[in-house]
Amino acid sequence: MIQLEVRHVECSVAAPPSRLPGLDRAVNPYRGCAHSCAYCYAQDVTRFETDRPWGDVVEAKVNIARRLKHELSRDAKGVYGIGTVTDPYQPLEEKLELTRSCLALLRRFGARASVLTKSDLVLRDIDLMRDWPGVEVGMSIACADDATAAVVEPHAPPPTNRFGALARLSAAGVDVYLMAAPIIPSLSGSRDQLESLVDAAHGSGVRRIIWDMWSPKPIASLRLREALDGVVAELAELAGSSRGARSSAEAVLASVCSDRGIQLVSAF
């Protein structure tokens, strides 16, 4: 059991510019993520607490809503990505409600928001999202099977819960999509697994899938290798980096999505 160290910190900017496709600004209420997925790139990208196990430390930007209100009062144009680096609905959010406070402000200022999460805690905020045409929710699920996902996502809600959240959001009229990433060929990239993933998404009301393969990063590769030890025979990170694995996964996804009337988009 992880002993989570929580730090309350203040940020000087709530919504810095984002270079991610389709997003103008990035809102990340937390640094670090207690979901502690083995394949997570965030520690490589941010260099956050690289001498500690990923998921042991989370910083909560306790003043983020106050800062965001100030920034929105000057300019609320563009699309605000919520959770571009770490999960905005990780367990701490249940108590701190930083993401909820930011969403409420974005709605009040007539801004557009794109939420990305791996948690059904997002359903708590369905009251803010329904009847808000400017919001979309992406649910990150790379594998439909709970037991397989648990190998690399031991502290995130199981895929079954996430598909359930997608179904309730779409039934409430919220624009949803599936973030099918990262696909790890040796773990979750077989034809049957990809087909199950698309079918589960389709059954949850999803009509758009954004996808990506896992690609090696120094810290994440070490973590992933440890998590997969004894689970798969080959090194998933090597398989994931090969061009052949990518094109065969893309061919399967494209064919299944086309059959189900789902739009397929590559993440990058």
Angstrom CA distances, 143 to 5, 146, 200, stand at 29, 8, 10
Q: Does 84 bind ligand SF4 (CB under 6 A)?
A: no
The residue (of 39 and 80) whose beta carbon lies closer to ligand SF4 is 39
Nearest to ligand SF4 of 46, 255 (CB atom): 46
Task: Confirm or reject binding of residue 187 to ligand SF4 (CB under 6 A).
Answer: no
CA distance 99 to 46: 20
Binding to ligand SF4 in span 156-185, by CB under 6 A: 156
Nearer to ligand SF4, 42 or 165 (CB): 42
Between CA 13 and CA 11 the distance in angstroms is: 6
Distances (CA, A) of 24 to 77, 105, 112: 9, 17, 10
Interface with ligand SF4 in residues 101-140 (CB under 6 A): 118
From 37-45, 56-64, 72-80, 101-109, span contacting ligand SF4 (CB under 6 A): 37-45
Least distance (Å) from ligand SF4 to the CB of residue 33? 3
Stretch that binds ligand SF4, among 2-10, 19-27, 32-40, 142-150 (CB under 6 A): 32-40
Based on CB atoms, which residue is closest to ligand SF4, 59 or 87? 87
Nearest to 94 by CA among 128, 65, 60, 63: 60
Distance of alpha carbon 234 from alpha carbon 225, whole angstroms:
10
Q: Which two tokens stand for residue 62?
A: 């306790």
E strands of the chain, at which residues?
Answer: 5-9, 25-27, 30-31, 57-61, 79-82, 112-117, 135-140, 175-183, 208-213, 263-266
CA 219 to chain centre: 19
CB-nearer residue toward ligand SF4: 28 or 186: 28
Q: Which of 11, 23, 26, 42 binds ligand SF4 (CB under 6 A)?
A: 42
Q: Does 86 bind ligand SF4 (CB under 6 A)?
A: yes
Nearer to ligand SF4, 224 or 256 (CB): 224
Q: Does 237 engage in binding with ligand SF4 (CB under 6 A)?
A: no
Residue ranges binding ligand SF4 (CB under 6 A) = 33, 35-37, 40, 42, 86-87, 118, 156
